[in-house]
Chains A and B, each alone.
Chain A
Amino acid sequence: GENVEQHPSTLSVQEGDSAVIKCTYSDSASNYFPWYKQELGKRPQLIIDIRSNVGEKKDQRIAVTLNKTAKHFSLHITETQPEDSAVYFCAARYNAGNMLTFGGGTRLMVKP
């Protein structure tokens, strides 16, 4: 089955700096890669996603890049703010059944 690895497990940045979280996946048939943000005690919320026919996608301060050849994808957050502090999860879907395989998560801390 699919295996997703996520790095780093924790990331601390100063407010205004950029943050980058990286994930690799194992199954070349994976075709959908969402990123979820989970605040303490809350549900995971989709912040951005990308499909395998696209190399990059942006939404304001958030961007995701996908390298299908290397089987890795990354989340980029620019101009970080304290409210960006949360745990971020990457995921991959390798068939049409919508089963997601999640990475282990990255705890992002943005210091004011």
Chain B
Amino acid sequence: DAGVTQSPTHLIKTRGQQVTLRCSPKSGHDTVSWYQQALGQGPQFIFQYYEEEERQRGNFPDRFSGHQFPNYSSELNVNALLLGDSALYLCASSLDGGQSGELFFGEGSRLTVL
């Protein structure tokens, strides 16, 4: 049973560029949440997708957008990258729109913006 998988694992971009990160949820899960974890800090909620719609959003600008596909996989897009966007981006999956409680995290995509 595959857990949450994310790609790419590491990437380097320059300021102003755009990036797309991908996530496949744990088998049987239908809800995907994205978190940003800056170095030495706790994860911060970006948004959550359920039934292919953005269900909740944290305090992140519109440069951060996402998508969920019919197979429940998800993408996170960040436009006009800033140095401060350098972080570990974590995808977490859960069941039933988040009613089950437990989140399962992927290993993350580490983004470095130069």
Contacts and interface: CB of A to CB of B under 8 A. Distances in A.
A93 B101 CA distance: 9
Interface in B77-111: 90, 94, 97-108
Nearest to B108: A43
A53 B55 CA distance: 26
Contact of A43 (B42, B58, B90): B90
Interface residues of A, number: 26
A72 B98 CA distance: 23
A62 to B, nearest CB: 16
Interface residues of B, number: 28
B19 to A, nearest CB: 20
Contacts, number: 65
Given A98-B98, A99-B56, A99-B58, A46 B103 contact: yes
Interface of A: 1, 4, 6, 32, 34, 36, 42-46, 49, 51, 89, 91, 93, 96-105
23 contacts: A34-B101, A34-B103, A42-B107, A43-B106, A43-B107, A43-B108, A44-B43, A44-B105, A46-B102, A96-B99, A97-B48, A97-B56, A98-B33, A98-B100, A98-B101, A98-B103, A99-B45, A99-B58, A99-B98, A100-B45, A101-B45, A102-B43, A105-B42
